[in-house]
Structure 1
């Protein structure tokens, strides 16, 4: 199965279920950047429940800006803050230390463009998952695409469709219960090498 989706910031479980069950992934890189999407947002499980990690971006005066042209606003110390949030949320998880050395460099090296940074995060996560999938990038934006399953709607954080994913043990589940469809980081730190098996066993529904 060929699929197309948006590169997002440490994609959520739904994105990676789609990826893990695909033969070829096309990354949509020719769209316009929209606010309130997973392009620059990811959710983790903190001590107080669901916690958003947002990458600040530079907004221009233009009405529309291409995703590929959007710069990260590095005047804020967001990388350090995000890493501290991950430490606080997951340092007691079973597999945090197992992946820490691979992930920490992503929060130490300055990134200029949000699209490039998201793609780099995707590469590192695939290495952690030991997931080898063929990928390519879109060359022009097409509203309708043939012979490809369109998972681009998954990028919409505000219009997210509920998915029936199996529960797994989370660090703070005794406090707030199971929270589905968080960042792939949540699954990775809690399930470790079993994460890929989990992803391949789940299904996605899109209306």
Structure 2
């Protein structure tokens, strides 16, 4: 993100949907249009501010997050959570727009935008250190899909998302090219499928799936 006291930087999320995938692809777990600020009435929680802006990809509104300066932190809308039935395969689609003048922080892990957390953790658990967190986010203009499971270090099957490095672990899958380079709406899609377990050998199988699309490609 570009920190400036003169330029307002905004990130907007448009219509979003979460569904089961493959043979269950038609089973929508939930969808959200962000047409108005009544998110709590539609099952969202752990939020204290919602700003709905115009100029949405579809419908009358979209949710907006703004950074006016480094000291101010995020403004406009706060982070929010949404529960849905557990599944071992999940597909996400949403529309994302970055404002004119948007820049990047230069940090290799920034900004964290959208996550899936496992039900092995509670509904209030933070995403940074869990039994499994999946990430879908733009980083330095590229689309990143990632996963970490640092809390599994003492579990019988151990870590599945790489070794611990400097207090974190994770596997990162970045797009080859820079994709977020303008102030237009773009469609972001992601699909995750959990790996299965080889119970005879007491270890995880390497059959998990991670896929991502940007504007359908």
Smaller-chain TM-score bracket? under 0.3
TM-score where L is the length of structure 1:
0.26
Task: Name the structure where strand makes up a greater proportion of residues.
Answer: 2
TM-score where L is the length of structure 2:
0.26
